[in-house]
Structure 1
Amino acid sequence: MVETPAKNPLFPIFVKLHTLNLLLVGGGYVALEKLATLLINSPDAKIKLVAGIISNDVHAVLKEHNIPFEERDFEVRDLEDVDLAIVAINDGQISSKIAAACKERKVLTNVADQPAICDFYLGSVVQKGNLKIAISTNGKSPTIAKRIKEMLNETIPDEMEDLLNNMQRIRNGLKGDFTEKVKQLDAITSVLIDNKNKKSVFRTFLYMLSYIIAILFLMIAGYYILSALL
């Protein structure tokens, strides 16, 4: 009997973070990474940070983006009016307690390095203008997600934003009901995958596949080299 390959059960959504209240707990390197990810993707995100100790680098980002913060340990009252929470501290026990408090108050939570108690993950993101692609490995390998992100960034042309703008103008000028407009847009965009381009699409696929295989080889080789050294 052939086993059905496991599938990623996560449901991908794009959140309007500027309309929600987000609490970030932590003031060190991990919190700095989370802040960078949030601000790159949602510059107008409504963030509040709480941490017992806040590094100079985090302080600088908070000041630059006018983000409110309190330099003290997390308290349950911090969850008032909060929609999402990100816990970015190095203490697993405290992280679990904060996550439990969030769950009790139905606040969706991401906990750094503890996927089992996360309600959502922050995946690798590819962005070319208004085109945004989120990549998830269901927490199995953030490194692979990062490499695929780099590959897509190189593969997708910078002119994608011009294409999107042109398609918007075309869509706004189309006549007919929704179904008819979809048919017309399908016909217009079919050039992206027609027979003339199948060879180039196939080459791109082979490039991506060879890239991933090379990454896996380097990871395995690195493991054995480190094992030998130890």
Structure 2
Amino acid sequence: MPESFPEVEGGGSLIVAWQIRNKKVLVIGGGEVAAGRILNLLNADAKVTLISPREGLNPEVAHRVERKQVEYIDRVFEPSDLDDPNISMVLTAIDDPAASTVIWKLCKEKRIAANIADVPPECDFYFGSVHRDGPLQIMVSTNGNGPKMANIVRRRIADSLPPNIGDAIKKVGALRRKLRVLAPGNDEGPKRMQWMSKVCLAWSLEDLCAMEPEDMDALLESYGPNEIPTFDQVRLGEKPGVFQFDGSFGWYI
């Protein structure tokens, strides 16, 4: 029998989590769209340089400038602004299509990834609608077809999620870091991944949220034999698969 593989469905985007921590990003424009872009960048720990005349700053962007959360240049864009080799990406949010296209072409010449707001053909990447809960990020993209629809879908997804899922993910992250200290070798990688997957399947969201550092230490004791005790077993100090005698029947296993 021939093997069955997924059919290719073109027309999509490669959705990735772009790590831009401590990397320089140039934002051109200071209106409402720029405000959303800047917040996304700051949440990702990017180093943001903003170019816009002061009279073009909306209240949120002006707040970022006043708090020195961005490096601010009070003027219109100049081609020499792209000469900095440390620029990782450029975002434009200005009400001048012709000027935006010029910036786009300059970015292409210098091989700098760029996003021209509201002009999908002049974008190397898109900003989707994002739901954020601590370490959890969920992005919905319509590939430039309908930003409002992306927002509607994102809200529906967010409404279906448990309210404490962000806390559960933080606890899982802490457990993974402890596990890497316990079993640091590369050869342990497959076992670590398998064991962590089994924990996430065996423990409820409520269990993961309630997990404390001492619970993690007790749970990690079962990594060697590759077992998964229940949350109650961890709290009671019991071992997986062992019946604890309480004296009520006069016998034990």
TM-score (norm: length of structure 2): 0.66
Residue 187 (1) aligns with residue 198 (2): yes
Relative distance call for 1:161 and 1:90 in structure 2 (3 A) is same
Q: Which residue of 1 aligns with 2:46?
A: 45
TM-aligned CA deviation for residue 169 of structure 1: 4.6
Q: Which residue of 1 aligns with 2:188?
A: 177
Q: Work out the CA distance in 2 between the residues paired with 1:36 and 1:104.
A: 28
Q: Which residue of 1 aligns with 2:16?
A: 13
Relative distance call for 1:38 and 1:191 in structure 2 (3 A) is same
Q: Work out the CA distance in 1 between the residues paired with 2:203 and 2:154.
A: 21
Q: Which residue of 1 aligns with 2:90?
A: 85
Aligned length: 188
Q: Which residue of 2 aligns with 1:68?
A: 71
RMSD of the TM alignment (CA)? 2.5
2:30·2:58 contact (CA, 8 Å) conserved in 1? Answer: no
* Map 1:114-193 → 2, pairs under 5 A: 114-171=119-176, 172-173=178-179, 177-191=188-202
Which residue identity is paired with 2:92? V
Q: Work out the CA distance in 2 between the residues paired with 1:170 and 1:17.
A: 25
Q: Which residue of 1 aligns with 2:217?
A: none
TM-aligned CA deviation for residue 56 of structure 1: 4.9
1:26·1:50 contact (CA, 8 Å) conserved in 2? Answer: yes
Which residue identity is paired with 2:51? V
Q: Which residue of 1 aligns with 2:224?
A: none
Query: Per chain length, whose mean CA-contact separation is higher, i.e. which structure has more relative contact order (CA < 8 Å, sep 6+)?
Result: 1
Which residue identity is paired with 1:96? T
Residue 54 (1) aligns with residue 65 (2): no
| DSSP-derived class of the 2:139 partner | strand
Q: Work out the CA distance in 1 between the residues paired with 2:127 and 2:11.
A: 15
Larger radius of gyration: 2
Q: Work out the CA distance in 1 between the residues paired with 2:36 and 2:91.
A: 12
Q: Work out the CA distance in 2 between the residues paired with 1:156 and 1:65.
A: 35
TM-aligned CA deviation for residue 177 of structure 1: 1.5
Q: Which residue of 2 aligns with 1:27?
A: 30
1:54·1:71 contact (CA, 8 Å) conserved in 2? Answer: no
Q: Work out the CA distance in 2 between the residues paired with 1:66 and 1:177.
A: 41
